[in-house]
């Protein structure tokens, strides 16, 4: 076997390899309860980055940028420390409507919205990373 073939095989075995779908191959499997996100040198995995994007697309207009909250809706980076995963999913699927005084603030139900539901674990992971202080506000850097 020519030497360069051996060398490139070795490089592939040790380097962090991005596969065709953009995910990084050598990171531990994600689990909403035990490992909601992966972070290396301040950079997040594909899923957590996706969670940041999905959060920005569907949640930020009410819950504020980067999970920080607004005058209208609570800071989800704090909420995910109080709610467990099942409770979080339940609110996002079914919505929530609390009347407080003259203000009727509605959390919409996203149960039939594929842009949210198919990515709910990624959004959860992103908010967990924010809650833990693993990443700051704004666009996180991605592990390549
Ligand atoms: C139209 C505005 C709006 C949008 C968009 C929205 N929310 Fe909400 N959400 C609210 C409001 C208002 C509440 C507070 C309801 C209450 O308890 O009074 C809330 C509450 C919640 C709660 C419960 C928080 C707690 O501490 O109990 C969760 C979880 C949540 N939202 C997740 C999400 C996620 C995830 C998204 C994006 C997929 C999202 N929301 C998008 C308005 C919104």
Name all residues whose Cβ lies below 6 A of ligand 1.
Answer: 58-59, 61-63, 72-74, 76, 79, 82-83, 88, 91-92, 96, 98, 105-108, 110, 116, 123
Residue nearest to atom 5 of ligand 1 (CA): 59
pLDDT values of the chain reduced to their tens digit, one per residue, 144 residues: 455 554 444 444 444 556 666 666 689 999 999 999 999 999 999 999 999 999 999 999 999 999 999 999 999 999 999 999 999 999 999 999 866 665 678 999 999 999 999 999 999 999 999 999 999 999 999 998
For residue 10, the tally of other CB atoms under 10 A from its CB is 10
Q: Which of 56, 42, 48, 46 is nearest to 128 (CA)?
A: 48
pLDDT score recorded for residue 26:
86
User: Atom 6 of ligand 1 has which residue's CA nearest to it?
Assistant: 59
Neighbours of 46 (CB within 10 A): 20
Angstrom distance (rounded) from CA 114 to CA 58: 11
Q: In this predicted structure, what is the pLDDT of residue 144?
A: 81
Question: Is residue 9 a part of any domain in this protein?
Answer: no
Neighbours of 126 (CB within 10 A): 32
Residue 139 falls within a domain, yes or no? yes
Question: What's the token pair of residue 80?
Answer: 């995910």
Residue 7 maps to a domain: no
Is residue 4 a part of any domain in this protein?
no
- 3-state SS track over 64-103: CHHHCCCCCCCCHHHHHHHCCHHHHHHHHHHCEEEEECCE
pLDDT at 101 (0 to 100): 62
Report if residue 95 sits inside a domain: yes
Query: Which domain, by its residues, includes 80?
Result: 38-144
Domain at 78, CATH number: 1.10.760.10
In the chain, the number of structural domains is 1
37 strand-pairing partners: none
């Amino acid at each position: 076997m020519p030497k360069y073939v051996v060398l490139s095989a070795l490089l592939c075995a040790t380097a962090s390899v991005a596969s065709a779908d953009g995910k990084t191959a050598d990171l531990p499997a994600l689990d909403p309860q035990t490992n909601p996100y992966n972070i290396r040198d301040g950079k997040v995995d594909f899923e957590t980055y996706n969670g940041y994007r999905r959060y920005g697309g569907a949640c930020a207009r009410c819950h504020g940028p980067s999970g920080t909250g607004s005058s209208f809706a609570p800071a989800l980076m704090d909420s995910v420390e109080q709610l467990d995963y099942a409770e979080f999913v339940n609110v996002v699927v079914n919505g929530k409507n609390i009347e407080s005084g003259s203000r009727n603030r509605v959390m919409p139900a996203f149960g039939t919205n594929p842009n949210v539901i198919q990515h709910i674990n990624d959004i959860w992971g992103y908010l967990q990373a924010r809650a833990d202080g693993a990443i700051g506000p704004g666009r996180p850097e991605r592990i390549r």
